[in-house]
Structure 1
Amino acid sequence: MTVKEAANIWNVSVRMVQRYCFDGRIKGARKDGKSWVIPKNATKPEKIIKKAVNIKSGFIDTSMLMPLMNTPFKPGKCIDYINSIENEDKKNIALCEYYYFSGQADKAAKESEMYLNSNNLSLKLSAYLIYAYSNLSLGNVKNTQYALSMLKKIASSKKDIPILKDASAFIATAAAILLHLPLPNEIPPMKEYINFLPEGLRMFALYVHAHYRYLQGEYERSIGIVETAIALQKETYPISSIYLHLVAVMDYMSIKNVKKAQKHLLAAWDLARPDDLIEAFGEHHGLLGGMLEAVIKKDWPDDFKRIIDITYRFSEGWRKVHNPITGRDVADNLTTTEFAAAMLAARGWTNQEIGEHMNISANTVKQYMSSAFQKLGINQRQDLKKYMLD
C-alpha cells in the first residue's frame, strides 16, 4: 500500500508514515523510486512518546530551532517561505509552527509528535514546545504536562555543554513563563543565553522577558523591553513581533493608556492577519483588557469569533495546568466578555470607563459584573483580583 493509504488506515499524517519508513519502524517497507511501498499487512508502529529518551545524545543547529519564528518573512508570504525550505525536517517543523500559530492545534500536535525523539536537539526542543501548547488547546493536558517535564529534563541535563544548555534554557523558560508557572531552579537567567540566540529567537526571548516583568507588575520596565526590541531589530520577525506588541498592550492597559495599547494591538494585527496568525490573540485575550472587543470585534467580527473559540480552548487547558501548580483559582466559568470586564474592574476601572472602552453601555457592564459576581460567589470588586489573571 502507499504512504497515503497507510496514513488513512492508521489515522496519522502522511509525514508521520514517511517518518516511520525513514526510521525503519515498518517491517518490509521499501523505497520505490521517490515513494515508499508498505506491506498491506503492516501494523502501525507503537508510540514511543512515553518511553525514556536519551537526552544526552543529539546536536544543536540553531537554524532548526523554531525556524518560522526565526524568519523575517513578509506578511502574507508565510506559506511561500515554508514551501521554499529545502531541508525536509526544517520545513516540517516550520509547518508545525504555522499550524499552531494559525490556530490549527490538531494538526500542530500530530505533526510535531513525529519529532519528539529526533536526534537533532533543535528539532526535538521545537517539537516539545509546539506539542505542549497544541495539546493544551486540545484538552490533552497529560500530553502537555509530559512535554513540559521533558523540556525541564533536557534543560537540566545540558549544564556542561554551553550551546545546548542555552538552547534548552530558552525553550524551557518560554514554556514556563507563558503558562505563568514558576521557573525551574536549574534554568539560568536570560542574560546568560540570549546572545547565543539568532535575532528572531532573541526577539521572542525578549517578549518572554517582558511578559515575566509584566507578571511582576513592572509595567514600565516591560514596556521599555518591548519598545527597545522593536526599535533595534534589523528586520521584522512577524511571529516574535506579534507577541512583543501584545505584551505591550497588556502593559499599557495596566496603566490605563488605551491609545498606546490600541496602537500596539493594530500593529500586531497588521502582522498577523495576512497569514491568519491568530493564535497569539486567543492566548492573550484575558490579559488584553477588553482590547479585542474594543477594536477587533467591530471591524473583523468573523476573525473575532475565531479568536474567541481559540481563547475558550486554550484557557481551559491553561487553567488545568496553571491552577494546580500555582494554587491560584483563576476563574473558569465566566464568558470571555465577562472576564474582560472583570479584569478591568479588578484594575480599578469604573462601569462607565469599561463601557466606553468596550463599546457597550454602562448598564450592560453592570449586568456583566453582576453575572460575574454571582458565578464567582463574591459581593465586591476587591474580591475579583484573586480570580483574575496575573
Structure 2
Amino acid sequence: MKKSLLLALFSALVLTLSALPALAGTVAEPVARFVVDQRTYWVRGEPRQMDVAPFIENGRTYVPVRYLGYALGVPESGIGWNQAERKATLTRDGTTVELVVGRSSYRVNGQERGMDVVPLLKDGRVFLPARFVAEALGYRVAWELYSRQVVVLTPGYEIDMDQARAGTLQPPPGAVAPPGKWGWEPKGARIEFRVGSRYATVTRPDGSTYQLDLGAECVVVTKPITDRSIIRKYPEVYPEGTYVVMPEDSEYTTAFYIPFIPVAKAFGVPERNIAWDGEHLAVFGYGGDKENYQVFTVGSKEVVEKAGGEAFSYQGLSSPLFVKDGVPMVAVRAGECDVSAILFAQFSSASRDGKAPGVVNAYIGGGYFYYESGTAYVSVSREDYGYTPAG
C-alpha cells in the first residue's frame, strides 16, 4: 500500500487529539453514526458517503479510519506512517498516539493500553475498532443493537449505575434545586406530536402556542407479529421510516416514542438537571432536592429512584426506554404515558400524604397515542390549557 494512501486513511484521526471537546455538560450528543454494511454515514445528522462499509468481526464493529476522522472534522495533517512497522503515529499539542496494524495494543504518550481486537487491513483500507479508538481519544460510543449502528457521542457527565443503586449518584455540574417540593412551574401545558415529524406543537399555560424542534423524529415501536397490525392497517399513516420493528421476544410493545430531553425542557425542567450518556437517562430534582433522581436504562422498564435519602428500584415504565440515532426516547401508549409519569406529580398511596412530587409543579393530565392517525399528546391537568398546581 502506498504511503500517500495510508496517510490519507490515518490523518482523519488527528483532530480528536488536538480538539477534544470540553466536558460539555450533562447531555451526550450524537457526533456521528456508522451503520454496519452501509456506505452512508451521518455527521451531526447530515448524510455522507463512503467507498467502503463498516463490518463486524469477532463481536467488534470496525469502521474505516479515514471516514471516522472525516466525521469528526479532522484535517489531513500531523500524521506519521512507518511502512516497515505498519505503525501510524498521531501527534498534536504534546499528545502522541501510536497504532500498529495487527497488534492488540496501542500507546498514548508512551503509555501502553490494551484492546481485545486489532486494527485490520481489508480491501485496501485500514479499519479500526470503533469503540476503543473513539473512547481512547475522548469520545463516548454507543451501540444500537436493533439498527446495528455505532453512535459516536460527545463526552459529558457519566451515569454510574452502581452509584445510582447505592443512592450516591451526584447531580451533574450546574444542576439546581427546584423552587419548592413540587418542582418547577410548567412552561408548557400540552404538547402534540405526529409520527415521523421532528416538530411538535406546544401550548403554554396562557393558551398561546409555538412549534418545538424535537431534534429527531417521533417513531412508533412495534414487533414482527403481535403488534404490527396497525402498520399493515394504516400504511398511509406509517410509511417506511416512521416505525421500528423490535424482536418478538423483547419487552417492547406498540408505543409512540417521543424524544425526551426537548420535551422535558419545554415543560420546564432545566437542561442541566437532565443527564444522558448514550445508555442511561437521569432526571434530578424530585421533592425539591437536586440530589434526588430517577434513572432509566435503554431497553428496560426499571426505574432507579432516590427519594428521602434512600435509593430503590421498581418496574415503573409502561414501555422500556428507547434510543434511536443516539437520542433517548420515552413512550406514550393508549392510556399510559411514561413522559408525564416521569415529569409530573402523581397521586400515590405509597406516600404519606397520598401525593408524590414530580419535577414539574402540576399533576398528570394525560397522554394518549391515537394509532389511527399516528398522533399523540402529553398534557398536565388543565382547564382551557391552564394547569393544576400540585401540593
So what's the TM-score if we normalise by structure 2?
A: 0.28
Where is the strand percentage greater, Structure 1 or Structure 2? 2
Q: Which has the larger radius of gyration?
A: 2
Greater RCO (Cα-Cα under 8 Å, separation 6 or more): 2
Where is the helix percentage greater, Structure 1 or Structure 2? 1
